[in-house]
Structure 1
Amino acid sequence: MAIGREDATKTGRAMRAPTLADVAASAGVSVSTAGRVLRDQGWPVEESLKERVRAAAIELGYVPNVMARTLRAGAPALVGLVIGNMLDPYYGEIAETVTCYSETTSRMLTMVCNMQRDPRLELDYCRRLWEHRVAGLILAGGGFDQFTYHDDLALLVEKMERSGVIVTTLSPRDLESPAFHTDNVEAGRCAARELISVGHREIGILVGPIRNRVLTQRVAGITAACEEAGLSVHLVETEFGASWVAPAIAQMFEQRPTITAIVAASGVTSINVIRAVTATGRSVPEDISVIGIGGRAIGEWGARMTRVDLGLETCGRAALDYIAARVEGRPTAPAFRLEPTIAGGGSVAPPK
């Protein structure tokens, strides 16, 4: 079931990437002169002509086509997929979904870029994919800083879209591009309600650095559901990576020893939280109930983990279908926010 549908149609947007001939025509020079200026290989060209060509290239959103052959007749359209961290099962599941689906449909060739949770590298990859003349771009960002360089990304995406690149996202990024993702506020509410429904009244939240919309929304949903039930929550914010989970759990129990349940609000945190709880001498779910938020990897890697499923496969396929439809000139389905679901795993039980 999908909720909050929005019309993602881009009206009045150029569907063709500007060519070197377009730049030359706009600058009033020959194609060879424009090429010499933009290749910047030392050819003697008057400075005034250089300025006109460069200004025209910027105005048109032109970038060098280093992968022109991929757009020859009959070749599959190239799609760029920028993921947050290849070692994170959340992103691994997205990459597997998108690449397998593109191979199955035979309509797209997907190039996966690992930004290693560095927003500057995300920008760099977007520029380089643009230069490789991708037909579409999927931003699969999640748990990393999405605030510091947001304006730079928004401006870059706007230029890419003006040049004909079809951009989509798999998380809320405050961009004009269509987003295909689960409702993260509702995912937080769903996790908290699952614990409350079996009787928990002392609930902790373990979360990585809250530097993006995804985690902000999930924590807001958890908190809202608890407050509606007359409960308070204890939040512990940790750094990225498995090594930070155990000390964060120990800190949580030290500060609030009466906690009987924990919501692990992100994928890597979810996978490691059961081990961290048992390391304190407590058992799951007999002493502490745990619920995670993420994809199927949580259930596969985090033994017995009950989780809120984010529908990553559905979202990844929808983003690729949207790009394919735009490339082929077919009607597109609107962007959506999925309603999350609970996937049972045995890590939630009534408190003692």
Structure 2
Amino acid sequence: MSKNRRSAGRNGTTTLADVARAAGVSISTAGRVLRDEGWPVDPALKERVRRAAKELSYVRNAMARTLRAGSPAMVGLIVGNMLDPYYGEIAESVTRYAESTGQILVAVCNMQRDPKLEMVYCQRLWEHRVGGLILAGGGFDQFTYHADLRQLLDGMARSGVVVTTLSPRDLDFPNFNVDNVEVGRLAAGELLRHGHRHIGIVVGPLHNRVLRQRVEGAAACCRDAGVAYYLAEASEFGPQGIDRSVAQMYENAPDITGIIAASGVTSISMVHAVMATGRTVPGDVSVIGVGGSAIDRFSTPPLHRIDQALATCGRAALDHIAACVAGTPPSKDFLLRPSIVPGRSIAPWRA
């Protein structure tokens, strides 16, 4: 189904028409199968439609049903840092999806990686009577103020605000994201598959569950293969912190031939950081990154990367909110399997 996945609409949006095309059926038939309203459909055809929907990560458009029911809403979206392409891609996909309706307004707040500012924005959005909230923050300290945030969000939920998250936060609200342990496993597996046996894992400060889960997955994959790995944790976010971290890594482990850049910011900075040590990518060092399609524009050579389905997750959270606001059955949260997007930053290792 790889060709079908690439057939999705603008910004990666998978529509009912994409599913119907992939399954070789009409749009009305695909809709009947996925609504599961008891229409008589051949079992083999049903299976074909459901398989196509699953492989294309299709999520039913609850927002469209909400708007047809005449229930517009204002939704708050809090992102970690607007200068980070990871958050920019989320904001772009969510706002475009909302704008396509002409009736749902998304208020985007930039928390600048400050957990206290995240709570300030939650409070302000609550005061502005948003119908829903999407927490898209990722790379920042998610532990120090966790209890305070939980208490604030519980109050918002009791008042009727529909709260969702796009990363694991240990909060009792619907979460729409990829399996970050699997992200780490896939990244390490790609380097191992290309013959690399000296692997570095480069991350920013490990102050959140996302990065810890990715490191957990990559480390487990290396251990299973009997391969040692070196974990380099940058002391700060941004290119300078990554440059120092990579330089220190090569002082301590000069034999590393493959690097996992475990976040979007790390991925964007990694080729420069490696070249600053006098090495080339992928001639001397292979690099695999993690992030959405936005990072493709920031790296030469283009990164081999693990995609996080950011647009799919953001739209699903918005659909969930729309359904809850309309009083219709909401979509269930999910943990998507990440996918590999080939680039030119990995080469087979020949000792």
User: 1:186–1:221: 8 Å Cα contact kept in structure 2?
Assistant: yes
Pick from 75, 81, 86: which aligns with 2:82?
Answer: 86
Paired residues, number: 282
1:346 match: 344
Q: 1:106 deviation in Å?
A: 2.9
In structure 2, C-alpha distance between the alignment counterparts of 1:115 and 1:170, rounded to whole Å? 15
Q: Which amino acid aligns with 1:153?
A: L
1:236 match: 232
2:203 match: 207
User: 1:286–1:351: 8 Å Cα contact kept in structure 2?
Assistant: no
Q: 1:127 deviation in Å?
A: 0.5
The superposition leaves residues 131-155 of structure 1 with CA deviations (integer Å, 9 ceiling, x where unpaired) of 0000000000110000000111111
Q: 1:107 deviation in Å?
A: 4.0
Pick from 58, 72, 77: which aligns with 1:76?
Answer: 72
Pick from 281, 284, 301: which aligns with 2:281?
Answer: 284
1:114 match: 110
In structure 2, C-alpha distance between the alignment counterparts of 1:188 and 1:108, rounded to whole Å? 36
Q: Which amino acid aligns with 2:346?
A: V
In structure 2, C-alpha distance between the alignment counterparts of 1:150 and 1:226, rounded to whole Å? 31
In structure 1, C-alpha distance between the alignment counterparts of 2:311 and 2:70, rounded to whole Å? 28
TM-score where L is the length of structure 1: 0.78
RMSD: 1.4
- Residue 98 of structure 1 pairs with residue 88 of structure 2: no
User: Equivalent residues in 2 for 1:216-295 (5 A)?
Assistant: 216-238=212-234, 239-295=236-292
In structure 2, C-alpha distance between the alignment counterparts of 1:317 and 1:287, rounded to whole Å? 40
Q: Which amino acid aligns with 1:212?
A: N
In structure 2, C-alpha distance between the alignment counterparts of 1:250 and 1:154, rounded to whole Å? 39
In structure 1, C-alpha distance between the alignment counterparts of 2:296 and 2:188, rounded to whole Å? 18
Q: 1:105 deviation in Å?
A: 2.5
Pick from 146, 150, 157: which aligns with 1:154?
Answer: 150
Q: 1:332 deviation in Å?
A: 1.4
Which one has the largest radius of gyration? 1
Identity of aligned residues (%): 61
Q: Which amino acid aligns with 2:278?
A: G
In structure 2, C-alpha distance between the alignment counterparts of 1:287 and 1:79, rounded to whole Å? 47
Q: Which runs of 4+ in 1 moved over 2 A?
A: 73-76
TM-score where L is the length of structure 2: 0.79
- Residue 324 of structure 1 pairs with residue 309 of structure 2: no
Q: Which amino acid aligns with 2:298?
A: W
Gaps of 5+ in 2: 1-53, 56-68
1:5 match: none
- Residue 182 of structure 1 pairs with residue 187 of structure 2: no
In structure 2, C-alpha distance between the alignment counterparts of 1:107 and 1:251, rounded to whole Å? 51
